[in-house]
């Protein structure tokens, strides 16, 4: 379905996409007309076909997991994304297939932009191009962080570092505490931390027993994020 006549909900989602920060309401409206809507039900497969090759995706509703398989055949979770997050930027730039797996975590609605439209947007809005460069730089820094994290820290410190990364990406901050609305599954945290699900479970229990964190349902709270960094990562 085309977004020829985007409503306020569509514009609200697009305004939350980091690449499009700074665009006016009218610019967002014109941008929205370049997207198609794709809806997927829980347990359905997200497949890349010829229409999706080189596409840019925005998560409008629901959550998706981006992952890759290692040479050993195990899954490595790269990110858990929710409404307003985007993926496929590199593929949208060069027109090649997105080289990661996308897992639907429930019912999902995606806004999809073609390679040709995405490159036209980059030409039309130079500050979107700059935002893309900054975003890709941040992802490179995360890759460097992950290599350092996996090679130099204890398993529990890696779990703490992964929690901090998720908190900084998806958390809501209030008076020094950070609430992660939807804590990733333990197996996904284990993939991020490069450890086992059992180690994640033990580490989370230890953090809660020490009073560093608490949990209610899927919501996970780090009570003092700066103290948590100092205690577990030695960071100020």
d(CA 30, CA 207): 47
The helices-and-strands tally (H runs, E runs) of the chain is 9, 11
Edge-to-edge strand order for the sheet containing 177-180? 172-174, 177-180, 219-222, 213-216
The yes/no answer on whether domain 153-233 falls in CATH 1.10.10.10 is yes
Of the candidates 109, 107, 54, 59, the residue with the CA atom closest to the CA atom of residue 79: 59
d(CA 55, CA 119): 10
Asked if residue 110 lies in contact with residue 34, where contact means CB atoms within 8 angstroms, the answer is no
CA angle 165, 166, 170 (to 5 degrees): 125
**Joined tokens for residue 145:** 């962080």
Per-residue pLDDT of the chain (236 residues; tens, 9 = 90+): 666 666 678 888 999 898 998 899 899 999 999 999 988 887 665 655 445 678 899 999 998 888 877 666 777 777 888 888 999 898 888 887 777 788 888 889 999 999 999 999 999 999 999 999 988 887 777 777 666 666 667 888 889 988 888 888 788 888 888 999 888 889 888 888 888 889 999 999 999 999 999 998 888 999 999 999 888 877 54
Query: What does the domain layout of the chain look like in residue ranges?
Result: 8-146, 153-233
**Joined tokens for residue 16:** 């939350």
d(CA 80, CA 66): 6
Half-sphere exposure of residue 130: CA atoms within 13 angstroms, side-chain side: 6
Q: Which CATH architecture has domain 8-146?
A: Sandwich (2.60)
Please tell me the predicted confidence (pLDDT) of residue 106. Answer: 86
Strands 219-222 and 86-87, how do they pair? unpaired
Please tell me the predicted confidence (pLDDT) of residue 52. Answer: 64
Beta-bridge partners for 86: 58
């Amino acid at each position: 379905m085309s977004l020829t006549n985007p409503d306020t909900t569509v514009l609200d989602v697009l305004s939350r996409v980091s690449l499009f920060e700074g665009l006016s309401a009218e610019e967002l409206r014109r941008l929205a007309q370049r997207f198609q809507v794709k809806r997927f039900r829980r347990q359905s497969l997200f497949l890349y076909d010829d229409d999706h090759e080189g596409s840019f995706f925005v998560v409008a509703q629901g959550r998706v997991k981006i992952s890759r398989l290692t040479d050993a055949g195990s899954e490595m979770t790269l990110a858990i994304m929710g409404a307003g997050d985007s993926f496929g930027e590199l593929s949208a730039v060069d027109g090649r297939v997105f080289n990661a797996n996308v897992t639907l975590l429930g019912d999902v609605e995606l806004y999809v932009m073609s390679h040709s439209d995405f490159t036209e947007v980059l030409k039309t809005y130079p500050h979107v191009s700059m935002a893309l460069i900054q975003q890709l730089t941040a992802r490179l820094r995360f890759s460097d962080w992950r290599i350092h994290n996996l090679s130099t820290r204890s398993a529990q410190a890696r779990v703490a570092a992964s929690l901090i990364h998720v908190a900084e990406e998806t958390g809501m901050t209030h008076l020094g505490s950070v609430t992660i609305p939807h804590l990733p599954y333990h197996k996904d945290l284990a993939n991020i931390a490069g450890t086992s699900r059992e180690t994640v479970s033990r580490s989370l229990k230890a953090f809660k027993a020490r009073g560093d964190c608490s949990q209610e349902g899927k919501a996970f709270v780090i009570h003092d994020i700066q103290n948590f960094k100092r205690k577990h990562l030695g960071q100020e």
